[in-house]
Structure 1
Amino acid sequence: MIVELDHRLFLAQDYAIINPMQVGREAYSDLSPLRLQPKGLERHEHILPLLVDLKSLEAAHRIELLERTLSWAQRHHMPLFSALFSSEHTYAQVFSELLRRTVLQREGGQRVWLRYYDPRVFRHLQWLLDDEQLATLMGSAQTWLGFDPLCRRWHQWTRPNAAKGLYLRLDSEQWQAVSHLEALNRCLRDLAEMGQESGDDIAKRVLEGLLVARRQGLAHFSDAALFALQQLEYGPEFALFPAVALRLQRAREQGISYSSACRGLSNDDLACRSGVA
């Protein structure tokens, strides 16, 4: 749900998360945040998220902070706060539960850093995860706010009314999707810059295109992105178009990029969905 971050909504938020990869220390030096640093990630200290206890601030400070947040959004692509949320739990309790979400364990014991606090990731987790997983991800957070840099608006999500576990666990298909989120967001940014839609329905279709591209052996981002955006335009059977199948084959057998193989590909070629191109 798109919302306006006004005084009433901002003052209802208990905690905030800052991404130090996007925000300089001078912007939050007066907030005394705690770093969400799981054991084993000490060498990444400078890029790990920071938790701010908004409840502990005086009302005047919080109002000034809202003005700072809105001013920051006018001058920067990414927000001052990656997330804002409400919770009845204490600062220590919230810190502990967020710390458990920062690094997840995959099949085989591999530890993976999940950037759930990045709104460009959190928005996709809303449709990648089921209600129980979302409830576990959000923990004690009743609502969660994130800024979409593509539409320049704040979104609010509500925790599902479902049982939540102590640890968030993803299945193999979800992990595969998560591994493509960076590429997905780059594709959505390209669509937005062209004035096209970049909402959840489009995101799901672009992700499917990226996954098909990977199955077709397109490992380089530029090739996978080209294929995914082509499939978005022409439909889920795109890889079966004769002209496309031929170019996919050339890319595999000749060791050239798919982008190079597509040079000279015309709309007339793509209009032919059977036969030989």
Structure 2
Amino acid sequence: MLPRACLRRAPVPRSSLRRRRAAQRWLGNVLASTRRSMTTTTYIIVEPSNGALDMSPAPNAYEIGELIPVARPELEGVAPVLYRLEHTERQLPRVRELAESHHRDGRPPLICCVLETEAVTDVIREHLAESLLLRKPADGSVVFRYYDPRVYAHLGSILAPGQMLTLMGPVTRWTYLDVARAWQEASFDGNGSGSLAVTDEQYEQIARLSFVRRALELLRDAGVAMSADLPRQLDTQLRKAERYGLSPEDQIPFALHGVLVAPNFDRHPQVQSALSQVRETPYVDAVGQWSDNDWQRIGQESAQYPLS
């Protein structure tokens, strides 16, 4: 539950002209890179569950196949699909158009990324597929949707540079559309090898990314300006929500209050009282009757309490 006063739509100045120029620069960079190295091949990763890949009027992309880890054959039919672009000058504008239209319509991403590599097709496909399994620090593995731009956007702040190189393997360039509908690009040497290993803390951060993503969507829909540090702030608040024993349903509202009210709002006696009773009364129910004035007062008074 958000304080109503905090959810008034704020203007986010971003001209269509700037967007168009940025997109043109990205397209020019990709095309120039392709021309510089005749051994570089361009691919896209598509999430077929989010729609059909209609490349018309551009030439169709060549389907390489699903990215299925050897140890998880049951992912067949639900795995992302790798396509090769063989006519980049005509296909990349259509790829960009598809990605931006899905974002503009509020749909989950169909085009997850554009990637470049000097590796042969079998090598890049195998690496991308096997990277879908993330080893748990203790034992076992989980499906890791690293290719999803809503996940990939946060990995640079969670993983060390060497870990990102391992994750990317033979990839030399990775481009994706971020939450602000801006194209982001990352370059690598293409020499990464092995499988990604993460610490306990990193694994927990990755596990919280779905909550961070949902919170960001709510903030964006409310007109809150997106800052580069916002995902880290949300993760800090979600970590506190876990420590307080809040249910999954209550963790996102708590994190939003931590961002919109004050980072240490939970130290306020009124909030502490509500948190002490979460076993009997869910957090959202406990604070549900508080007014905008209550939240404003809590935010102001929180300055006198230490950061938690």
Q: TM-score, normalised by structure 2?
A: 0.77
Q: State yes or no: 1:268 paired with 2:297.
A: yes
Structure 2 partner of 1:69:
95
Question: For 1:170, which of 198, 202, 208 is the aligned residue?
Answer: 198
Question: For 1:151, which of 180, 193, 214 is the aligned residue?
Answer: 180
Once the 2 structures are TM-superposed, how far is the Cα of residue 79 of structure 1 from its aligned partner?
4.4
| RMSD, matched Cα | 2.6
Equivalent position amino acid for 2:264 in 1: E
Cα pair 1:103 1:111 within 8 Å, conserved: yes
Cα deviation, 1:33-55, whole Å, max 9, x if unaligned, reads: 2211013433332221111222x
Structure 1 partner of 2:231:
203
Cα pair 2:237 2:258 within 8 Å, conserved: yes
Cα deviation, 1:59-86, whole Å, max 9, x if unaligned, reads: 3xx3332242233245323444211122
Cα pair 2:262 2:299 within 8 Å, conserved: no
Cα pair 1:69 1:79 within 8 Å, conserved: no
Q: 1:20 to 1:27 in 2, by over 3 A?
A: farther
- Measure, in 1, the Cα distance between the counterparts of 2:100 and 2:128: 29
Structure 2 partner of 1:142:
172
Once the 2 structures are TM-superposed, how far is the Cα of residue 153 of structure 1 from its aligned partner?
1.7
Once the 2 structures are TM-superposed, how far is the Cα of residue 230 of structure 1 from its aligned partner?
1.1
SS of the residue corresponding to residue 76 of structure 1 reads helix
- Measure, in 2, the Cα distance between the counterparts of 1:9 and 1:163: 21
Structure 1 partner of 2:137:
107
Give the % identical residues: 25
Q: 1:234 to 1:75 in 2, by over 3 A?
A: closer
Cα pair 1:36 1:48 within 8 Å, conserved: yes
Question: For 1:4, which of 6, 11, 23 is the aligned residue?
Answer: 23
Q: 1:175 to 1:139 in 2, by over 3 A?
A: same
Structure 1 segments unaligned to the other structure (5+ residues)? none
Cα deviation, 1:82-105, whole Å, max 9, x if unaligned, reads: 111221111111112212211021
Structure 1 partner of 2:243:
215
Structure 2 partner of 1:84:
114
Question: For 2:258, which of 231, 235, 250 is the aligned residue?
Answer: 231
Structure 2 partner of 1:185:
213
- Measure, in 1, the Cα distance between the counterparts of 2:191 and 2:171: 14
Structure 1 partner of 2:11:
none
Once the 2 structures are TM-superposed, how far is the Cα of residue 220 of structure 1 from its aligned partner?
2.2
Cα deviation, 1:252-271, whole Å, max 9, x if unaligned, reads: 2x2x2211100233133454
Question: For 1:21, which of 37, 49, 52 is the aligned residue?
Answer: 49
Equivalent position amino acid for 1:31 in 2: Y
Task: Answer with 108-117 or 226-235: which moved more.
Answer: 226-235
Q: TM-score, normalised by structure 1?
A: 0.85
Cα pair 1:132 1:163 within 8 Å, conserved: no
Q: 1:151 to 1:103 in 2, by over 3 A?
A: same
Structure 2 partner of 1:244:
271
Q: 1:71 to 1:86 in 2, by over 3 A?
A: closer
Equivalent position amino acid for 1:76 in 2: H
Equivalent position amino acid for 1:34 in 2: G
Higher relative contact order (CA 8 A, sep 6+): 2
SS of the residue corresponding to residue 126 of structure 1 reads helix
Once the 2 structures are TM-superposed, how far is the Cα of residue 202 of structure 1 from its aligned partner?
0.8
